[in-house]
Structure 1
Amino acid sequence: MKVISYFLLILSLLVGCQKEKINHQPLVNNTIEVFKSELPKKITFYREKNNLHITNTENYIFLDTQELLDKNDEKFYSLNILEQKDYISINILSYKSGKNLSCKYNKKGKLISKSVIKTKLEPSKPYYIYYEILKRKYPNYMNWKLFPIPEDSLK
């Protein structure tokens, strides 16, 4: 009987200490609403680990690397969700314009701040996808051989 009591006590402590899961989908929708004048009506996001739990809606879809390359449209965005101790930051980055649209929310989902930052894009997988799409769409724009894409960057 004591063993069962100890087991139930430990189990209740573990369940009680679990971190509350926050649904990021409404925060993403709010961020899109805040910046609707700067975003297209139908947004294409690059799908990555950070946003796997966000589902497609009528306003936005997520595509993986191959789907973006097949679509051949450089107007896609990255969605990054950063969860800190005191706040959640939702960032939408355009590789075409270099703008980072950012909203910061408290843990209850209330908007704390918003900002638009012009960023210098650094090499990353979505950056190389964007670069490859430009290379395909505009082959005579520049000498693409001078700045090759690393072979493993699009896998």
Structure 2
Amino acid sequence: MADIRIQVQSADFDFAAEYARFDGNAAVGAVVAFVGRVRDLDQSVTAMSLEHYPGMTEKSLAGIVDQACGYWPLQAVTVIHRVGDLQAAEQIVLVLTASAHRLAAYESNAFIMDFLKTQAPFWKKEGNGACLQWVDARESDQSALDRWQYLKVV
């Protein structure tokens, strides 16, 4: 059974401290990390506000992680997602996946992020701070999710 940590919080997370949780686990041969940040590609996004449904969000994230553990042999998974008001360049989400082998760690990390982006109950507004607007789901996120439809449980 994988060591699983799921957290939804407004406070920032410490990447190094979260990564250090995997130290000393001799079964772990690979750790893959994804850190999502608030980006401003064209100076129009300087702020973001993320809302969630407490309890339901954590349950949804746990279900996604459980699915990943059914497809890949994982020793540990950490998912931390922030909510509330965030500014450009701030961290939003951390996904760490640990496995004996790199391919399992890579693929499971991408799987978790693809499902998180499309299935977890988060709602996002973004804009320049003075004017935030709700953001609709992106077709590219759904396309990324579609690539996993042929997975078989290990």
Shared topology, TM-score over 0.5?
no
> What TM-score results when the alignment is normalised by the length of structure 1?
0.29
Q: Which has a greater percent of helix? A: 1
Q: Which has a greater percent of strand? A: 2
Name which one, 1 or 2, has greater alpha-carbon Rg. 1
> What TM-score results when the alignment is normalised by the length of structure 2?
0.29
Higher relative contact order (CA 8 A, sep 6+): 2
